[in-house]
């Protein structure tokens, strides 16, 4: 297992509307870095600020802006991947690998060190909604798990809640 939490550097380029983000940076760190530099740019990532960008993006990356801008992985324009031999590959060196790491499960193909992300222009007004559903008491363990997820800084509906809602 690799701990990438110290690889958390973020470089924003507003002229290109991109950001190089190391895989250990959290979504909160990314959003903060973007907000410090621009009032109109954002990134369509998730809503849990403590999640690492590397895991979010390599898993697809569903978030609040997905319906307008696509999954986080769709907004990757380059990546640097260390293969099993220690070689650092990027999009120019291996286009097939680049498309594979964007397709979900990116960590299966090597260690993604930084991602180059396309920043999006966020509309001045954004409508966000959530749907709440009361669950029956037989789902109390799942409810407790759902509340624990929210208490740990992950706002919005959790996958657990959606799963139970779909089956209830």
Look at residue 64 and tell me if it is in a domain: yes
141 and 106 both lie in a single domain: no
Q: Transcribe 45-113 into DSSP letters.
A: --SBTTSBHHHHHHT----TTHHHH--GGGGEEEEEEE-TTS-EE-TTT-HHHHHHHHTS-GGGGSEEE
pLDDT of 28 = 93
Q: Which residues contact 147 (CB under 8 A, 6 or more apart)?
A: none
What are the structure tokens assigned to 43, written together?
């990134």
Whether residue 130 is contained in a domain is answered as no
> Is the whole-model pTM more than 0.85?
no
Query: Residues 80, 160: one domain?
Result: no
Helices (H) and strands (E) in the chain, counts: 6, 7
Residues 72 and 103 in one domain: yes
Residue of 53, 51, 47 lying closest to 65 (CA atoms): 47
* Distance in angstroms (rounded) separating the CA atoms of residues 68 and 114: 24
Report the domain count for the chain: 2
Same structural domain for residues 97 and 19? Answer: yes
Whether residues 148 and 72 fall in one domain: no
What integer best gives the mean pLDDT of the chain? 79
pLDDT tens-place string over residues 79-112: 999 888 999 988 888 888 888 887 666 667 888 8
Residue 83 lies in a domain: yes
On whether residue 2 sits in a domain, the answer given is no
Residue 40 and residue 108 share a domain:
yes
Domain that holds residue 96: 10-121
């Amino acid at each position: 297992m690799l701990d990438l939490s110290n690889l958390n550097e973020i470089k924003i380029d507003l002229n290109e509307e991109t950001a190089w983000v190391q895989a250990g940076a959290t979504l909160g760190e990314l959003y903060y870095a973007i907000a410090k530099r621009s009032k109109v740019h954002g990134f369509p990532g998730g809503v849990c600020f403590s999640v690492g960008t590397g895991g979010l993006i390599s898993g697809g990356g569903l978030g609040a802006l997905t319906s307008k801008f696509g999954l986080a992985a769709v907004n990757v324009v380059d990546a640097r991947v260390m293969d099993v031999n220690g070689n650092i590959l990027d999009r120019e060196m291996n286009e097939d690998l680049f498309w594979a790491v964007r397709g979900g499960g990116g960590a299966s193909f090597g260690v993604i060190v930084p991602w180059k992300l396309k920043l999006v222009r966020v509309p001045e007004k954004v409508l966000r909604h959530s749907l709440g559903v009361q669950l029956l008491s037989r789902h109390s363990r799942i409810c407790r798990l759902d509340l624990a997820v929210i208490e740990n800084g992950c706002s919005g509906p959790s996958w657990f809640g959606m799963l139970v809602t779909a089956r209830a």
